[in-house]
């Protein structure tokens, strides 16, 4: 009993230490700070109350991300009016002479990731943001490693296309700016 209590305290500390990483992942899925915070809070609460069911302590983060993914899916199911992200048009609010700052780049990448389908978005955020191994992603999403690899490849290719399209749009906007007069 004492050993189990110590184990749970250690796991609880580890979960608390990784709260910001979980938040970043949830935010990358939702694009909404408040919803991301709610998802993390729900997932951590469920994880804390279920620590005794965790069999492999080395998979604590993947196990918690799985809980958070289930919380997110539950939230999606409860939504009555869902709009497909492909229906949104993201405005480019920078001027033609404006260079993208790192903040603009981050925003652009977040928007582009939001354009990916849920399956691809989940895989790319787990691998590239959370730095999970393919095995951890496979366990978290309950899919074969080969599927993880193919979804990741497709997600990265689609993300590259979206970012290149934005880059060419920026070049087009710049070319219609002021002309140099001699």
In the chain, domain spans: 1-82, 85-182
Give the CATH fold of the 85-182 domain: Arc Repressor Mutant, subunit A (1.10.10)
Give pLDDT, residue 167.
72
- Are 40 and 11 contacting, i.e. CB atoms less than 8 angstroms apart? no
Give pLDDT, residue 97.
39
SS3 per-residue string spanning the chain: CHHHHHHHHHHHHHHHHCHHHHHHHHHHHHCCHHHHHHHHHHHHHHHHHCHHHCCCHHHHHHHHHHHHHHHHHHHHHHCCCCCCHHHCCCCCCCCCCCCCCHHHHHHHHHHHHHCCCHHHHHHHHHHHHCCCCHHHHHHHHCCCHHHHHHHHHHHHHHHHHHHHHHHHHHHHHHHCCCCCCC
Give pLDDT, residue 5.
82
Alpha carbon of 59 to those of 51, 77, 78, 137, 179: distances in Å? 12, 27, 29, 11, 59
| Cβ density class 143-180: b for 16+ within 10 Å, e for less | beeeebeebbebbbebbeebeeebeeebeeeeeeeeee
Q: How many CB atoms lie within 10 A of CB 130?
A: 19
| CATH number of this structure's domain 1-82 | 1.10.1740.10
pLDDT digits (tens, 9 = 90+) for 56-76: 888 898 899 999 999 998 888
Report d(CA 12, CA 22) in Å as an integer. Answer: 14
Give pLDDT, residue 129.
84
Q: Which residues of the chain carry a pLDDT beneath 50? A: 90, 94-98, 174-182
The pTM of the full predicted model, rounded to 2 decimals, is 0.61
Give pLDDT, residue 179.
44
Report d(CA 83, CA 33) in Å as an integer. Answer: 18
């Amino acid at each position: 009993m004492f050993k189990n209590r110590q184990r749970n305290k250690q796991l609880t500390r580890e979960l608390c230490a990784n709260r910001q990483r979980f938040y970043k992942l949830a935010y990358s899925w939702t694009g909404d700070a408040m919803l991301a915070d709610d998802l993390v809070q729900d997932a951590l609460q469920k994880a804390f109350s279920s620590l005794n069911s965790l069999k492999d302590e080395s998979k604590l983060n993947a196990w918690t991300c799985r809980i958070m993914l289930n919380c997110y899916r539950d939230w999606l199911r409860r939504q009555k009016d869902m709009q497909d992200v492909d229906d949104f048009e993201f405005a480019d609010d920078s001027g033609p002479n404006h260079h993208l700052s790192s903040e603009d780049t981050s925003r652009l990448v977040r928007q582009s990731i939001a354009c990916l389908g849920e399956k691809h978005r989940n895989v790319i955020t787990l691998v590239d943001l959370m730095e999970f191994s393919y095995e951890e992603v496979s366990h978290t999403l309950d899919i074969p490693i080969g599927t993880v690899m193919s979804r990741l490849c497709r997600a990265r290719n689609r993300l590259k296309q979206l970012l290149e399209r934005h880059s060419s749009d920026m070049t087009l906007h710049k070319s219609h700016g002021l002309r140099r007069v001699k």
